[in-house]
C-alpha cells in the first residue's frame, strides 16, 4: 500500500471513531437530561468523552440542575467546580 492510502485509511478510522464518540456522548447526555438523579458512572463516562469545545454545554446542563434543585447534589457542584 502506498503512504497516501495508509493516510486516507487512518483519517477514515479517526472519523469513524469520532462519530462513535459523538453518538455515545449524545445518548448519554439524553439519558442524563431525562433522569432526575443521573448516576455517577454515567456522568464519569460523559466527562471522559467530552472534547474541550463540548464542555460549556455540559456545564450548562449541570448548572441548570443545580439552579432547579432546592438541595443540589454536592457531587454535581463538585463536577462543575472542577471545570471553573
DSSP for 28-65? HHHHHHH-SS--HHHHHHHHHH--GGGHHHHHHHHHHH
The whole-number pLDDT of residue 37 equals 87
All residues at 6 or more sequence positions from 42 whose CB lies less than 8 Å from its CB, including other chains: 28, 31, 32, 35
Q: Cα–Cα distance between 28 and 38 in angstroms, integer? A: 10
pTM over 0.95: no
Q: What is the pLDDT of residues 32-79, one digit of tens each?
A: 998 988 999 999 999 999 999 999 999 999 999 999 999 999 999 999
The answer to whether 48 touches 25, Cβ cutoff 8 Å, is no
Q: What is the pLDDT of residues 11-32, one digit of tens each?
A: 999 999 999 999 999 999 999 9
Amino acid at each position: 500500500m502506498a503512504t497516501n492510502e495508509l493516510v486516507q485509511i487512518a483519517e477514515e478510522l479517526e472519523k469513524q471513531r469520532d462519530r462513535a464518540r459523538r453518538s455515545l456522548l449524545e445518548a448519554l447526555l439524553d439519558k442524563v437530561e431525562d433522569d432526575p438523579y443521573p448516576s455517577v458512572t454515567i456522568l464519569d463516562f460523559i466527562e471522559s468523552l467530552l472534547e474541550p469545545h463540548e464542555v460549556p454545554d455540559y456545564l450548562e446542563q449541570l448548572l441548570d440542575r443545580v439552579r432547579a434543585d432546592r438541595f443540589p447534589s454536592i457531587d454535581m457542584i463538585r463536577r462543575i467546580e472542577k471545570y471553573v
